[in-house]
Chain A
């Protein structure tokens, strides 16, 4: 089988705040025989904020990244759902609207770049989900007994990226968790928004959204929530104290990246997966896997 190679766009959050997502991604890609070439000199995709202010410039920012990936002849993969959504949408717009593409290419000249719409944009979870057999084969330290609430959040699925995409009943996150030996629970609110930037701009609304998600994860019997986005992770994990203060609750639900769980199942030592930088410690079934991984 030929080695799969992608242009990797880590995004601002993965540089430090979500470094554990980055570390674990690099580790499991290596085990899976996938090459992630970090996009040279990538820039911020603009998050949601840029689209609040100026749409044309927001697309230009995304297009610069697309152009750099195209220059390498590689499809782009992003671990942050926000980055993925922005660059996917920009790609679709540029392929459809040639005037927009011309205008943006005129600006890209300043950095000796040009984009001709030749590449695709993927979310990280998509590229691993496509090869479940391989994931299963590599999961030599399966996470038996770990009950996981797979949290899709919004932007991976919405807005719809492909015409026939199942945006209401996806299964790939669950399937991926099954492949590593964990047990995905029926997490009813798995597609429900966590509040995103409202955590800053409308604290009350966001905290109540986070509370609903935590409660639902507990009700579904989960030991841990798995995420595929640095913003989902921070909102769900780092604001539990504030949720508890606001609603008089006592939540303490660990929240990890799916890549950290995959890495553990592959026997990679916890430290190399960034485990230890979280606010809330791993549940028992994960700790058992951590011990086994350290022993290998």
Chain B
């Protein structure tokens, strides 16, 4: 018999992969929301987000920015009385929206993560100036100026690399990646 997986189950599976308790175990105690240092900046706080997932409100969940504002500090995770790994859930939701290609367009998070990833796959290392320029133009004017000011200061202090670092066995490294994601060149 064909069964359709509900949204809540789909998200639950993301958590199972990380070894956490399913969201249905949530008792809505509010500890996660109360403890979250980014809560004030989220459109939906963790406790409510979990309720929304459990209720299967897929479209609403996909439209929130809350999980893209999660700093992965794991404060909620270590305090949840039900052992729900909320921080991993936030990671899971980020991956889920990238995978579905559905996230609010003005978010910097997804583009930033993708640039970071491309950089590692190319060189085996991350290179800060490349990162800076890739998100530079998505910033507002004020942030742009302050970023430039910081970059200048770091350079004066000798804290910016001139050349991107790369690992030595890069060819092996790239073939290793292809065994995980089998794609052509």
Residue positions of A touching B, CB distance < 8 A: 12-13, 15-19, 41-44, 46-57, 60-61, 64, 96, 103-104, 106-112, 154-155, 157-160, 167-168, 191-193, 195-198, 200-206, 208-209, 238-239, 241-242, 245, 277-279
- B177 on the interface (CB 8 Å rule)? yes
- B108 on the interface (CB 8 Å rule)? yes
By a CB distance below 8 angstroms, the chain A residues around B71 are 154, 193, 195-198, 206, 209
- B150 on the interface (CB 8 Å rule)? yes
Are B146 and A167 neighbours in the complex by a CB distance under 8 Å?
no
Tell me the count of chain B residues lying within 8 A, CB to CB, of chain A: 62
Are B95 and A158 neighbours in the complex by a CB distance under 8 Å?
no
By a CB distance below 8 angstroms, the chain B residues around A18 are 159
Are B160 and A209 neighbours in the complex by a CB distance under 8 Å?
no
Cβ-neighbour of A158 out of B77, B139, B150 (below 8 A)? B77
Are B120 and A44 neighbours in the complex by a CB distance under 8 Å?
yes
List the A residue with the shortest CB-CB distance to B127: A12
Are A158 and B124 neighbours in the complex by a CB distance under 8 Å?
no
Are A60 and B177 neighbours in the complex by a CB distance under 8 Å?
yes
By a CB distance below 8 angstroms, the chain B residues around A191 are 75
Q: How many angstroms between the C-alpha atoms of A108 and B150 in the bound complex?
A: 39
Which stretch of B22-30, B52-60, B168-176 is in the interface? Answer: B168-176
By a CB distance below 8 angstroms, the chain A residues around B172 are 110-112
By a CB distance below 8 angstroms, the chain B residues around A158 are 73-75, 77-78
Are B159 and A241 neighbours in the complex by a CB distance under 8 Å?
no
- B63 on the interface (CB 8 Å rule)? no
Are B158 and A159 neighbours in the complex by a CB distance under 8 Å?
no
Are B69 and A108 neighbours in the complex by a CB distance under 8 Å?
no
Are B120 and A43 neighbours in the complex by a CB distance under 8 Å?
yes
- B149 on the interface (CB 8 Å rule)? yes
Are A52 and B98 neighbours in the complex by a CB distance under 8 Å?
yes
Main SS at interface, chain B: helix
- B1 on the interface (CB 8 Å rule)? no
Known: A111-B172, A238-B154, A239-B150. A16 touches B74 (CB 8 A): no
Cβ-neighbour of B124 out of A43, A155, A202 (below 8 A)? A43
Most A C-beta atoms less than 10 A away, residue of B38, B87, B154 = B38
List the A residue with the shortest CB-CB distance to B135: A200
Ranked nearest first, the 4 interchain pairs of A and B with the lowest CB-CB distance are A158-B74, A193-B73, A49-B116, A107-B179
Known: A192-B37, A197-B112. 6 other contacts (CB 8 A): A13-B128, A53-B98, A154-B71, A159-B74, A202-B41, A238-B150
Are A200 and B98 neighbours in the complex by a CB distance under 8 Å?
no
By a CB distance below 8 angstroms, the chain A residues around B78 are 157-160, 167-168
Cβ-neighbour of A277 out of B135, B146, B158 (below 8 A)? B158
Cβ-neighbour of B159 out of A19, A41, A42, A47 (below 8 A)? A19
Q: How far is the CB of A105 from chain B (nearest CB, A)?
A: 10
Cβ-neighbour of B87 out of A157, A159, A245 (below 8 A)? A159
Known: A16-B160, A195-B71, A202-B41. A64 touches B180 (CB 8 A): no
By a CB distance below 8 angstroms, the chain A residues around B75 are 154, 158, 191-193
By a CB distance below 8 angstroms, the chain A residues around B146 are 241-242, 245
Q: How many angstroms between the C-alpha atoms of A217 and B59 in the bound complex?
A: 42
Q: List 29 A-B contacts (CB under 8 A).
A: A13-B128, A16-B161, A44-B125, A44-B126, A47-B116, A49-B116, A50-B113, A52-B94, A54-B181, A55-B91, A56-B180, A57-B180, A64-B173, A107-B179, A110-B179, A155-B73, A158-B77, A158-B78, A193-B75, A195-B37, A195-B38, A202-B41, A202-B69, A203-B139, A205-B69, A208-B40, A238-B153, A277-B158, A279-B157
List the B residue with the shortest CB-CB distance to A15: B165
Cβ-neighbour of A12 out of B94, B107, B165 (below 8 A)? B165
List the A residue with the shortest CB-CB distance to B132: A200
Q: How many angstroms between the C-alpha atoms of A239 and B158 in the bound complex?
A: 17
Q: How many angstroms between the C-alpha atoms of A167 and B167 in the bound complex?
A: 35
By a CB distance below 8 angstroms, the chain B residues around A279 are 153, 157
Are B173 and A111 neighbours in the complex by a CB distance under 8 Å?
yes
By a CB distance below 8 angstroms, the chain A residues around B179 are 106-107, 109-110
Q: How many angstroms between the C-alpha atoms of A104 and B77 in the bound complex?
A: 27
List the B residue with the shortest CB-CB distance to A16: B161
By a CB distance below 8 angstroms, the chain B residues around A154 are 71-75
Interfacial residues of chain B within 77-103, with CB under 8 A of chain A in the complex: 77-78, 85, 87, 91, 94-95, 98
By a CB distance below 8 angstroms, the chain A residues around B139 are 203
Cβ-neighbour of B109 out of A41, A44, A109, A201 (below 8 A)? A201
